[in-house]
Structure 1
Amino acid sequence: MKKAVILIALTFVTVLAYGQENKVQKLNKETNLIEVTDYHDNGMISQEGTFNLKGQLHGEWISYDALGNKISQGSYENGYKSGKWFFWSNNTLKEVEYSKNEIASINGVKNSSRVADNH
């Protein structure tokens, strides 16, 4: 239960951080997606990802803390979380598999690296 509560809190980091005013948006004409980069007040990147033309989160999203450390990485498909997502907290990596926007599985791994391969 504690893991689920922590995971839900980490999931909301992506949504809450998106509400910032410090952002840059541009249309990528090759992918037909709107690329977005949000910034913390200190100028560091908060998160980066893409939206489809309907305004839905679509494609890879990465979130960073105010020091530039990666805290989450995963993909959306037409507004829904899909596939493997990775959440870092201190030296712990949580791997979460999403199916139809619902958590299918959670794995915790000790790891100091902030590199993830979700393929």
Structure 2
Amino acid sequence: MKKDNLFFNSETGEKYSGTYVSHYENGEKSAVYTLKEGLEHGKAEFYYNSGEIMEQGSFRKGKKDGRWVRWAEDGTKLAEAYYNEGVKDGKWLIWDERGIKRYEMYYQQGSKTGEWIMWDEKGQIANKKNFSEN
């Protein structure tokens, strides 16, 4: 069971460590992730109710950490992002539902940085913006 953003063993009431699997009402799994002392810690996968993977990444001490990838239900990659202890950090890419890259963005410790590029629906560069350090 989950309370105040912590997971507890429903039988003992202690903070849960181990693999946690949740399901949709139709029986398909909705999420699989590892918990350590009640917090998400390690690999995490989230699923559509059809059973197809929606998002995959990892947590460290309850916060998104490292590479996260999101897909459409048909398997088309929609986004790739990086976090450092729950803060946006690194290259972010976003594609549309047809698989055309639409955005390339960069973050450093949660702040916009570097050159950001936006593409139109035909895959042509539509805009660029530079977030240089001041």
Q: TM-score range by the shorter chain?
A: 0.5 to 0.7
1:74 is displaced (CA, Å) by 1.5
Amino acid at match of 1:101: G
Q: Which has the larger radius of gyration?
A: 2
Structure-2 separation of matches of 1:100 and 1:26? 25
Higher relative CO (Cα under 8 Å, sequence separation at least 6) belongs to 1
Find 2:66's aligned residue among 59, 63, 66.
59
Structure-2 separation of matches of 1:69 and 1:103? 26
Name the counterpart of 1:96.
105
The C-alpha deviation readout for 1:6-61, integer Å capped at 9, x for no partner, is xxxxxxxxxxxxxx96001136xxxxx51001000111100000000x20110110
Unaligned runs of 5+ in 1: 1-19, 28-32, 112-119
Structure-2 separation of matches of 1:86 and 1:92? 7
With normalisation by structure 2, the TM-score equals 0.57
Of Structure 1 and Structure 2, the greater strand share is in 2
Deviating 4+ runs (over 3 angstroms): none
Structure-1 separation of matches of 2:112 and 2:47? 28
Find 2:42's aligned residue among 34, 39, 54.
34
Name the counterpart of 1:47.
55
Amino acid at match of 1:49: G
Q: Percent identity?
A: 26
Of Structure 1 and Structure 2, the greater helix share is in 1
With normalisation by structure 1, the TM-score equals 0.64
Question: How large is the RMSD of aligned CA atoms in angstroms?
Answer: 2.4
Unaligned runs of 5+ in 2: 1-22, 25-29, 36-40, 125-134
How many pairs does the alignment contain?
87
